Amino acid sequence: MKLIVAIVQDKDAVRLIEALVDQGYRATKLATTGGFLREGNTTLLVGVEDDRVDDVLDIIRRICHSREQLVTPLAPVGGPIDSYVPYPVEVLVGGATVFVLHVERYERV
């Protein structure tokens, strides 16, 4: 058995959960915050049999897409703020970061 840990952008989370449930997968949703942009995202935990990992990864690939987003950089910590002018910059966000972990034991109580 495997545990899939998928970190996705909040914009994709609802559609991804719906798609997983439609295909018979159970998912646990955790609200998390990313470190780079300090924006909310969603971490999903999905337990699956080894032979179904690729099916779940295909669903994630189909739903979670990268997109460009304008962000305003944060002011530097400890530096002079009077010369800092925050211009919005485009960054690539979205998609998914996925970890597939081996599960030695699983019990449903």
Q: Please answer whether residues 64 and 12 qualify as being in contact, where contact means their C-beta atoms are separated by less than 8 angstroms.
A: yes
Q: pLDDT grade, residue 8 (50/70/90)?
A: very high
The residue length of the chain stands at 109
The three-class DSSP label of residue 76 is coil
Q: Quote the percentage of the chain above a pLDDT of 70.
A: 75
Distance CA(52)–CA(46), nearest Å, equals 11
Mean per-residue pLDDT of the chain: 84
Query: In which band, very low, low, confident or very high, does the pLDDT at 75 lie, cut at 50, 70 and 90?
Result: low
**Cβ–Cβ < 8 Å for 33, 41:** yes
Residue 96 has pLDDT above 70, yes or no: yes
CATH of the domain at 61: 3.30.70.120
Q: Given a cut of 60, is residue 84 above it in pLDDT?
A: no
**88 occurs within a structural domain:** yes
Across 18-22, 32-36, 83-87, least confident range: 83-87
Q: How many domains does the chain have?
A: 1
Q: Which domain holds residue 69?
A: 2-75+84-102
